[in-house]
Each structure stands twice: as C-alpha cells, then as structure tokens.
Structure 1
C-alpha cells in the first residue's frame, strides 16, 4: 500500500459535506498573545459550570472492559459491557490490540502539528460550507458562548469520503500516522459493535450490516491552558450523535467529565486504554435501554491538553429506529421515531452543543 502522503489531493465527488460553522478566533493564539486574558465570549455563566456536583470520588467506578475477552465471546465480559452501557454509558477498554507505538506516534505528531505557526495550520482551515479541516465546529451564532478549544476534524472512512486537502502534511508522515491510528481504532470499533449486537440480542454482524458502510470521523481537540479555568469550558456538555465514540486521552492530564447521577465524574486516564461511550444511535436502536451520556471537557491552568475522538456512525441514508425485538407492544412504548441518520446528524450540527437537546428530533411526542 502506498503512502497517503503521495496521494494526489483532489476533491472527491463522493465525499459528503456537512454544515458550516461561523469563523471565530483561534484560542491557542489568544493565549499566546495574552496568557492572562479570557475574552467575554468564552466566560460561562457560573450556573453552567457549577450546576451539578463534583463527583470525582466515583472516577474509580467507571467500568473497565477487556476487549480480548469480549472478542472471544466471554459471557462475563459481555455482561460487564451490558451493565456498563446501562449504568454508565461510558467505559474504558484495555487489551484492545492497538500497538503502543501507533498511539504514541499519533500523540507525538499531533503535538508537533499544534506547535506549528498559525499560518501553517491555517493551510488546512475549514471551508465556509463544511466542518472538515482545522478550526471550530458547532458555532451557529455571534452571541454564543464559545468553547476554550481548537480542533482538527477529518472524515477517515470510507476512504472515498476523505478530503485529503485538509489532512496536514506537516509534520512529515502525519497523514500516514493518522491512517494507522484510525485503522487501529476502526478494528476496535468493529469488534465492539459485534459485542453490542450480541448484548442487544442479535447476530454478531447485525449492527455492522445496519450501518450499510461504517463511516468514521476523527476530531482532535486542542485545549490550551487557561488562566481562569473556573470561568470556561473546553467543550460544552453534549451527547454524541455517533453509534459509539472511541477516545484516546493523554495519560497524565485530566479533562473529560461525564454526567452521572446528577454530578460530573472525571474520567481518569488509564495508560494506553481507550475510552468508549454510547452514542445517540445506540440509544435510539435500543429504545433507550442504553443511553448516550452528556459529557464535557474542562481546562487546566498550567498545561494544554489534546484528546482524540473517533466517531463511528452509519451512512447518511440509513434509517434508524428502535429495533422491533426491543419494543414489546405489551409493556414497552416506542420512545423514538424513525429518522434518516444524515438528517439527524446535520440537524444537530446546526445548533450549539447543549446537552441532549438535539435528541428531541428523534423522540416520539407523548
């Protein structure tokens, strides 16, 4: 297989476009220019930040799943997965098979990319009509409170959806590193979706078949340090529009928090583990048995942080609705209506991140 770096960068007619996001300042540059200033547009209402309790003492209870056992169909591990999805909607995966070097190369090259001068990074800037590239997503109004982060967003699979002009060629070999990392994550995702099919009472490949073609996007989030971390959020509370999301954190920096029993629980990194969360698609398919969970990112006063989120989703034209066998007409009401995935996704992108407000589109009105 040739190197991606050698591929010609031409627009692919098959590649979907998503929705525009308004241009906003680069946060990393704001911090470089004046490390002590936090512009008003980033300052949160204190109720937003403190609206729920800190429950950090629960961090150690977030489930840990062994993928090597899951892939063998281990009953006990499948039960753990079922419980993790019902009670938490989040879990950490160990023994996932992605080589340490692949994870480390991704971290090293990405750090180098974000250290480049702004004009170099802006060569990959998001266009006015899409969210692939370097910049900010989900900015829909001029008066919206902004997140304290910058992002690089790329669609990786299927390969014909790639827009390679947005894939950075600096540092050298970065495109191939993104490809190797994303391939590893895809393998983990396929294995997990097989296990999800099993715990949802279906054949192993049922969920993969339902997707028509597994689409995978990568969002790399860069959270600069902030002199007033108590006033800002790195990413606003939201649930993911994905089927599942697979996230790599830096092993020595905290930032991700999940909503659980009315409080915020930090997801403490386990070296080389991957964090997985249930997305809206699984919530709809399972008729609410497994719920997508609100999560957010907080910032740090003394050091920047980078996270790597891979979203696995169905093809745009796939219709999703609760699976028949999970809706028993006698006792269980259908909580979600049929939605076309691409419409659901774009509808959520046209609004600011605001908890689970975007899921109303799929809810059956009672």
Structure 2
C-alpha cells in the first residue's frame, strides 16, 4: 500500500504542477527553499553523486575542431573530415569553432530564449502544451517533455520551434524571440549541411548522401531554461539521455554550463569554449550509418540549474 500511495501522491503533484502552465520558473518565483519531491530521485541522486563531481584527474577531453579555412583549402577540408569522423567514432560528440555563425547571432538567440522564458506569465501560457506532435504547430512551450512518464522531474523549462521543412509565419513565433530564431535558423542550417557533408565523406560515401536520404529535412530549435535552484545538489537540469535526431547543434550557456557526456564508463565535463558549438550525433544518424560503420553511443546530461 505504501508504494501505491507514493505513486498516487506523485501523480497528483505532477498534475498540479503541469496545470499551472508556469513551469519550473513559476515554481522558483514563489521563493521556495526546498525542492519539491517530484524533482528528487533519491536512488539516482545517491548513485550519481560521484558521477556529477568533476574528476580533476580525468585524461579525457572532448575534441574541439577548427573549421577555419575549409571552404578555401582542400587539404584543410580533408583533414577536418578525418577529425570529425574520428570524433564521431570515438565520442559521438565534438565541439566546432570558426563555424561561420557570427558571435552576435549566437548571443542574440541566447538572449531571445532568455527573454521568452522571462516573459509575463500570461504571454507564455498561450504557448503552453504537452503535445508538440500536432503538425500545424510551429512553436510551443512546456516543462519536461516526459513529465508524466519520466522517473524524476527535471529542473528545466523548454521552448520549441519547428523551422523546417515548413517555416513558420512570423506571427506564429513570440515577439520576444521571433527575429533571432529566423536569423539563427538560417545560419545553423548552413553549418548542419556542412557537417552532414563531412560525415558522409567520413563514411566513404557521396558528400550529399545524408542530405539525399532526408537527414537535413527538418530543423527544430529548442531553448532550455534552468531557473535558480534552491537545492542544486538534489535536482538535475537534464537527465541522462541520447538524442533521437540526426545531429544536435548546441550552444552551451557559459553562465550555467554543467553539460557532461558519457565516455569510456565515466562522465566527462564539456568545458565552455567561447563561440563554440557542441555537436552530438543522434540516434537517427547512428541508424543511418550502422550498415557502414557503427558510431559511438551517445549519452549526456546537464547538471542542476
């Protein structure tokens, strides 16, 4: 009976949290000093305490690859293809610098995401939904995609925008981030196409292979927001997971950080590199390439907000 009561109470708490449509930020704004029970997974917390502690003796460093000059120097292009392919095989993760996206665009989209999440509650509520699968939707806001299915609630809110293959009309996006989402989508699409071309070549295939099988067809932009947490040692910003896409191109917030990747049976911190993009090869890419050469399994998480 005790287990049934615990699960029942958890469901009630989750339902009440979801019905506020204010997410974790709304909860944090109440001034609470303790993390509610739905955000605590005691078994995982106890097991992961050592994993979340940076290992100063770790010999592993996620690869950082410089894309400068690849469009004018064929030898540099081939060298970078090899570097990217090695990183895909060994890590499933890497960072790229000199990727062509201006710093003001990176800063602009980060500011736009922050502006939306810090918008007036009534503005955000109109975008709140738990179902982002409806084909007509181009923008949504929610807290915890697997809120009712996951073992623990993450200390995180998310905004989501579908930018391709059917771009939204300007009025479908919130004013707070409208212009910067369109600008960033244009730039990041170009970077994504370049990376897919290089990965195709690393597989020994035609440079357009992954694009030809529609790996570049969709573009979804997600902006995660981690409000200040009263007990960061018991909450997690983003539970361990692998992405079910082709490529994830991530801007890591230097103020928060906390990104870790699973490599050779240990968590490795991903350091913030100014201007860098973190690249994660997703499950779809692994499935697409598995008949040629298996990519490294990717698992990563974010630390507490």
Q: TM-score, normalised by structure 1?
A: 0.69
Task: Give 1:148's match in structure 2, choosing from 147, 155, 172.
Answer: 155
Give, in whole Å, the separation in 1 of the partners of 2:150 and 2:282: 28
C-alpha RMSD of matched pairs (Å): 2.6
Match of 1:214 in 2: 217
Classify 1:150/1:67 alpha carbon distance in 2 versus 1 (closer, same or farther; 3 Å). Answer: same
Classify 1:129/1:116 alpha carbon distance in 2 versus 1 (closer, same or farther; 3 Å). Answer: closer
Give, in whole Å, the separation in 2 of the partners of 1:239 and 1:212: 17
- Per-residue deviation, residues 224-283 of structure 1 (Å, max 9, x unmatched): 121211211111111011111100112343221111111111211111111101111221
The 5 A counterparts of 1:142-291 are 144-160=151-167, 162=168, 167-169=173-175, 171=176, 174-211=177-214, 214-287=217-290, 289-291=294-296
Classify 1:212/1:219 alpha carbon distance in 2 versus 1 (closer, same or farther; 3 Å). Answer: closer
Q: Structure with the greater relative contact order (CA < 8 A, sep ≥ 6): 1 or 2?
A: 2
Moved more, 148-157 or 255-264: 255-264
Unaligned runs of 5+ residues in structure 2 are 1-13
Tell me if the contact between 1:90 and 1:293 (Cα under 8 Å) persists in the aligned partners. yes
Give, in whole Å, the separation in 2 of the partners of 1:294 and 1:245: 12
Give, in whole Å, the separation in 1 of the partners of 2:234 and 2:181: 33
The number of residue pairs the alignment matches comes to 276
- Per-residue deviation, residues 195-237 of structure 1 (Å, max 9, x unmatched): 0010000111111111176101011000112121121111111
Match of 2:24 in 1: 27
CA apart distance, 1:138: 2.8
Classify 1:179/1:141 alpha carbon distance in 2 versus 1 (closer, same or farther; 3 Å). Answer: same
Classify 1:44/1:163 alpha carbon distance in 2 versus 1 (closer, same or farther; 3 Å). Answer: farther
Tell me if the contact between 2:252 and 2:272 (Cα under 8 Å) persists in the aligned partners. yes
- Per-residue deviation, residues 268-318 of structure 1 (Å, max 9, x unmatched): 111111110111122112226212411111124xxxxxxxxxxxxxxxxxx
Unaligned runs of 5+ residues in structure 1 are 1-20, 301-366
Tell me if the contact between 2:52 and 2:303 (Cα under 8 Å) persists in the aligned partners. no
Q: Any idea what SS the aligned residue of 1:246 has?
A: strand
CA apart distance, 1:126: 2.0
Q: TM-score, normalised by structure 2?
A: 0.82
Give, in whole Å, the separation in 2 of the partners of 1:225 and 1:205: 44
Give, in whole Å, the separation in 2 of the partners of 1:59 and 1:224: 32
CA apart distance, 1:143: 7.6
Give, in whole Å, the separation in 2 of the partners of 1:185 and 1:98: 7
Match of 2:49 in 1: 50
